[in-house]
DNA sequence: CTCCAGGTTCCGG
DNA sequence: CCGGAACATGGA
């Protein structure tokens, strides 16, 4: 079957790369379908495909896709703000066209709560299990897919229900977060109105959300393109590329450096460095 | 079998 | 503020 049979429309998408945008580890539930990708944005099922320099989307999803994929981000301007160093330049070249998407806030926060000490493949697996068991059923062209479960849907479950989805110790955190949001103890719509620091503090009130997960949520779910999550990969990158033979280097110092050095689009710089390192560095480099 | 994964939290210096 | 340890699960 060709994708044209599914009634697709083209988007205006210059300087855009779908493959790296969906596959760089900022979002985990998209699955390859034919020559494209099938996934959900909130409760909207979307099929996306890039060929001949154009991006096609299943009919009806044009506006949602354009916003989600951040096709309005001025990528050339963004890259021009990156610090002028060899490592950054190489990552930017490697990630040409990759964009930071605009994920629905809750599923972004929730997904990263389940991400701690998990490989990307596991995070995806957990997302799919949660969606299939507790999310709304969606459909595209005869294919079944699922929306991420709402806070309310998760809040009424037991910790055992979530542990049965291979969440391990993250079950308690996801459940606690879902309940706080379902009860209104934390209001993500209000968080979106706060400045970066206040929004980060508000997110950190949720169980299982610390500095790193909060920054991922801010970057991928709240359009805070300056947020700079520091995970094991980025820590390796920073130590290796910017602090080569520095013996003592506290996490505090790394935070200060990255917040300052990478500028107003630090989140973009971070994701480019992350993706490049993950795809080109041997596993475990820089650990000893 | 051992090691480690897009961390957070708690606890003693 | 800093370093350690516990916390679950599965793939390499």
pLDDT in tens, A164-222: 999 999 999 999 999 999 999 999 999 999 999 999 999 999 999 999 999 999 999 99
Tell me the CA–C1' distance in angstroms for A287 and C3. Answer: 17
Same domain, A216 and A236: no
Of all protein residues, which has its CA closest to the C1' atom of C12?
Answer: A283
pLDDT in tens, A58-107: 999 999 999 999 999 999 999 999 999 999 999 999 999 999 999 999 99
Same domain, A218 and A236: no
Reduce the secondary structure of A82-149 to three states and give it as a string.
CCCCHHHHHHHHHCCCCCCCCCCHHHHHHHHHCCCCCCHHHHHHHHHHHHHHHCCEEEECCEEEECCC
Nearest nucleotide to A163 (CA to C1') is C8
Count CB atoms within 10 A of the CB of residue A18.
21
Contact A50, A30 (CB under 8 A): no
Task: Choose the weakest-confidence range: A60-64, A163-167, A229-233, A243-247.
Answer: A243-247
Q: Residue A6: its pLDDT value, please?
A: 65
CATH of the domain at A167: 1.10.340.30
Judge whether A201 lies within some domain: yes
User: Which domain covers residue A180, as residue numbers?
Assistant: 104-222
Distance between CA atoms of residues A151 and A162, nearest Å? 13
What is the count of structural domains for chain A? Answer: 2
DSSP state of A185: S
Distance between CA atoms of residues A157 and A169, nearest Å? 15
pTM value is 0.96
Contact A178, A155 (CB under 8 A): yes
Distance between CA atoms of residues A83 and A85, nearest Å? 6
**Residues A229, A233, A236, A239, Cα dihedral to 10°:** -20
Asked if A155 CB < 7 A from strand C, the reply is: no
Q: Residue A121: its pLDDT value, please?
A: 96
Asked if A169 CB < 7 A from strand C, the reply is: yes
Report chain C positions within 7 A of protein CB atoms. 1-3, 7-12
Judge whether A242 lies within some domain: yes
Report chain B positions within 7 A of protein CB atoms. 4-9
């Amino acid at each position: 079957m060709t994708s044209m049979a599914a009634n697709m429309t083209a988007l205006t998408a210059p300087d855009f790369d779908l493959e790296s945008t969906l596959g760089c580890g900022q979002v985990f539930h998209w699955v390859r379908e034919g020559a494209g990708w099938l996934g959900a944005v909130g409760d909207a099922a979307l099929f996306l495909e890039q060929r001949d320099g154009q991006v096609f989307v299943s009919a009806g999803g044009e506006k949602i896709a354009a916003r989600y994929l951040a096709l309005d981000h001025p990528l050339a301007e963004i890259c021009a703000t990156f610090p002028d160093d060899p490592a950054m330049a190489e990552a930017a070249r490697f990630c040409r066209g990759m964009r930071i998407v605009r994920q629905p806030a809750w599923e972004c926060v929730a997904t990263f709560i389940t991400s701690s000490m998990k490989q990307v493949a596991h995070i995806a697996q957990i997302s799919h299990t949660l969606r299939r068991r507790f999310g709304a059923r969606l459909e595209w062209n005869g294919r079944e897919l699922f929306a991420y479960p709402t806070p309310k849907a998760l809040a009424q479950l037991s910790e055992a229900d979530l542990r049965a989805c291979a969440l391990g110790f993250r079950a308690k955190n996801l459940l606690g977060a879902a309940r706080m949001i379902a009860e209104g103890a934390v209001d993500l719509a209000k968080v979106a109105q706060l400045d970066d620091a206040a929004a980060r503090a508000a997110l950190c009130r949720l169980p299982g959300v610390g500095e790193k997960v909060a920054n991922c949520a801010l970057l991928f779910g709240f359009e805070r393109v300056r947020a700079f999550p520091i995970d094991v990969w980025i820590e390796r990158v920073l130590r290796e590329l910017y602090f080569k033979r520095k013996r003592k280097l506290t996490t505090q110092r790394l935070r200060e450096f990255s917040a300052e050095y990478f500028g107003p689009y630090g989140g973009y710089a971070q994701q480019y460095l992350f993706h490049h390192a993950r795809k080109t560095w041997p596993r475990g480099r820089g650990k000893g």
